[in-house]
Structure 1
Amino acid sequence: MRKLYVILILIFLTSCNPPDEVLTGNNVGLHSSNLVGKSGVPPALTKQERLQSIGTNMYSFVSVNEWFDKETILYLTDENGVSIINKFEILTGEEEKFFQIDEPIVRLDANPDKSVFVIEVATINGQKEFYFLNKSGKVLYRLEDSGEELQLYWNPYKENELLIAVLLEDYSIKLLKLNLNTKRLTDFDFEHYYVQWINKNELAFLNWDMFSLSYYAPLYTYDIQKKQKMKLSEEIIAFFTSENYLLTISIEDTATQNSNYTFYDSNTKKILSKLHVPVLNTYSEQWWIPNHEFHENTFYFIKPNKSGDLFNYSEGYTLVSFQMDTGKTKEIVSLDVNYPMKLSPNGRWLLYGYQLEKIVDIKKKEVHSLIYW
């Protein structure tokens, strides 16, 4: 009996001593894989991602504009005549001012690797100015008196270099080359103004006949170093490029029900795969092309569920992914309208909508709203 009392006393004393280690908020993460709930699954493996909504009011909000990084977006508000661009983290809801200016912001875009952001501003005197910003919101370069219209063609192989097509008052067009590292803006001597890089040394362009009503033109490549042109394909409606890939769009004839999408290796010029996309007819000299995005070897596009008349079409759309190397197609989610879209740098999320106010979770095949009023 005496031994029993001793054992009970030892147990009691032991239970009163502080434990060797306490799982506080500071170190619980180190042991989260060892903590098992009633389901038998460690909490670290059951963590739920929850998209946050933007906490702004409907009177100041203008639009969501661009991806800042893989989980952060940039959106624009207008408060008493002041344009403010905010950073918003979609999973935490954390928000921070990125840039502001006392003039209307018309457009915000980024270079391919999201290291430079371009803001188009409409000045009081009716001119357009462009601000090139780094990731800290600091102005790298300011382009003034830029003409009536301006189109940027980023070099995906040199993130601080781009070509700029400028529409002048007399409706002539000139090409400029901007190097943001050296802050040099120079003339780029080339007679074609719609160009895109297809690799480190070559541009591609459509050789349009301005006096023809044709939908298509031959596609040429241009070697910048050798200053040589080479015809790549005949009768192309449009072309688009991504790093290491080239997409051309063509048709059999104007009465066709499908557009032909052909994907090339942009270095070897070899055809990798082909895709047929239903046509929505415009009954004009303009050909309809659905919104699309590239990510690595994947092409995302909003596919009409059937061909038809663009202005009366009501059959819905489907967001589709297409593997350019293999030709494998996968449907992601149904959509009502062919709205603009922008893909996150990691390919997980897709901004979508008239104001890019919705977000598609590509992995979970879900559509969420970033704004609730």
Structure 2
Amino acid sequence: MNVRIQGRAVLFLCSFLVGLFILTGCMSERELGRHSVLLHNKEIIKEAIPPSFTGQDLILPIQIEEGQFNSVSGWLNNDKIIYTTNVGLGSNIYTYNIFNGENQLIFESDAPVSSITVSPSGNQLLIHSVPTTYGGIITIIDDNGNEIMSERIEAFDFVIEWNPYDENILLLSLFSEDWDFSTQRLNLADKSMVSIELEEPFIQWKSADEVIYLDWDQQQPSLLAPLMKKPLTKGGEQVVFDEIYYMKAIKNYIMTITIPSDKINESVYTFLSNDFNEVASFTFPHLTRYSDWLIPYFDFTENHQIFTLAPLYYSEFDTYGEGFQLLSLNIDKGEETVILDDLGNEPISCSPNGANCLYGFYLEKLININTKEMTEIVKE
């Protein structure tokens, strides 16, 4: 506004030629002012966009503050990962922002931490520490390290299924040394743990109060089993599909793996809605092992995408000499994209938006899906 007023005053007081000269200069000033405003607005807009989408550089590797790096456990959100260090006889747990380098100690354990399970939303963590061989402590904290609940368990091993429809509810299948199991329903709202009867220890959530599982015949072992669904609050399990090799449920989707009887060299990955209607299907060559088929590592993201490793051709696992492709599968569109070639079959964990994936037996490397670059998380 000041530029316009000054311009008009100069034009009024000066002759035509001088005024024209000054007008030209004022217009340049006006354009410069407009350019500055645009730059300022761009900075404001850029600051409002999460770093994951602006091409901001990664701040890696992590500088370990105390102890020795143990492993990365996954993502809390698109920017933060969680990792563990060994400190004396215990463990420290940290969150780390890969874009701004913020390193935060959120939990210290006097006993070694065996595993960390992140809730589906990334807002809570279940930490399993092992002060003794056959006993352990499970501690649930929020993403800032505040304790929600802690419970001692007596088990040789256990598996966890966090309810993605109600994150106050978890199912824990506890195994004895001879692999007998019992299942506990853990409620974080009232901090209770109650035994429930389930036919199988490896169950998945279909909805807030219904589970699915593969009903393996213990008397006649087989590579295939029927897929069952069962309400937790009452009986009445029901067969959904016959002859399923593997299944995995996430919020609103179910993935099954089958081996066609007429194409035994292939695995069919089928994605179903919660009411068991097919959404998409993909076929890959698979590798056979002594008593079963290999399922390469995979992970889901929140935008209906799955990243999976896949062999190049059918073979026996022990004689397969090629690497694996990292593939991106878009469930909604039924599209398959090759991200990288010649990788090993190692664990993978991807950010919720699918922009980056952790990779490796300790999730010690990070793959940028857009640039296809791989970066070390920690440099020993």
| Residues 81 and 192 of structure 1: CA distance in aligned 2, closer, same or farther (over 3 Å) | closer
Q: How does 1:1-373 map to 2 (within 5 A)?
A: 31=40, 33=42, 48-52=55-59, 53-56=61-64, 60-124=68-132, 126-169=134-177, 171-225=179-233, 227-253=235-261, 256-266=264-274, 268-284=275-291, 286-295=292-301, 296-373=303-380
Q: TM-score, normalised by structure 2?
A: 0.82
Counterpart of 2:304, as a letter, is N
Structure 2: gaps of 5 or more residues = 1-13, 23-32, 45-50
Counterpart of 2:243 in 1: which secondary structure?
strand
1:159 to partner: Cα distance: 1.1
CA distance in 1, matches of 2:204, 2:145: 27
Deviations 1:94-149 (A, max 9, x none): 21111111111111111111111111111046522211111221221222133111
Quote the residue 1:39 is aligned against.
Answer: none
1:237 to partner: Cα distance: 0.9
CA distance in 2, matches of 1:58, 1:235: 50
CA distance in 2, matches of 1:55, 1:303: 33
CA distance in 1, matches of 2:313, 2:107: 43
| Residues 126 and 236 of structure 1: CA distance in aligned 2, closer, same or farther (over 3 Å) | closer
Quote the residue 1:14 is aligned against.
Answer: none
1:256 to partner: Cα distance: 2.1
Structure 1: gaps of 5 or more residues = 12-21, 36-43
1:213 to partner: Cα distance: 3.0
CA distance in 2, matches of 1:263, 1:255: 19
| Residues 34 and 232 of structure 1: CA distance in aligned 2, closer, same or farther (over 3 Å) | closer
> Quick check: 1:333–1:366 contact (8 Å CA) kept in 2?
no
Quote the residue 1:15 is aligned against.
Answer: none
> Quick check: 2:128–2:139 contact (8 Å CA) kept in 1?
yes
| Residues 85 and 220 of structure 1: CA distance in aligned 2, closer, same or farther (over 3 Å) | same
CA distance in 1, matches of 2:96, 2:131: 27
1:62 to partner: Cα distance: 1.0
Counterpart of 1:313, as a letter, is Y
| Residues 137 and 58 of structure 1: CA distance in aligned 2, closer, same or farther (over 3 Å) | closer
1:185 to partner: Cα distance: 0.6
Counterpart of 1:288 in 2: which secondary structure?
coil
Counterpart of 2:63 in 1: which secondary structure?
coil
RMSD over aligned Cα atoms: 3.2
| Residues 212 and 104 of structure 1: CA distance in aligned 2, closer, same or farther (over 3 Å) | same
| Residues 111 and 335 of structure 1: CA distance in aligned 2, closer, same or farther (over 3 Å) | farther
CA distance in 2, matches of 1:58, 1:277: 44
1:33 to partner: Cα distance: 3.0
CA distance in 2, matches of 1:230, 1:125: 38
Quote the residue 2:10 is aligned against.
Answer: none
| Residues 107 and 31 of structure 1: CA distance in aligned 2, closer, same or farther (over 3 Å) | same
CA distance in 1, matches of 2:263, 2:115: 36
Q: Percent identity?
A: 27
Q: Which has the higher helix share?
A: 2
Counterpart of 2:40 in 1: which secondary structure?
helix
In the comparison of the two structures, how many residue pairs are matched? 347
| Residues 303 and 170 of structure 1: CA distance in aligned 2, closer, same or farther (over 3 Å) | closer
| Residues 287 and 168 of structure 1: CA distance in aligned 2, closer, same or farther (over 3 Å) | same
Quote the residue 1:19 is aligned against.
Answer: none
1:192 to partner: Cα distance: 2.6
CA distance in 2, matches of 1:243, 1:154: 11
CA distance in 2, matches of 1:334, 1:79: 37
Counterpart of 1:311 in 2: which secondary structure?
helix
CA distance in 2, matches of 1:250, 1:48: 39
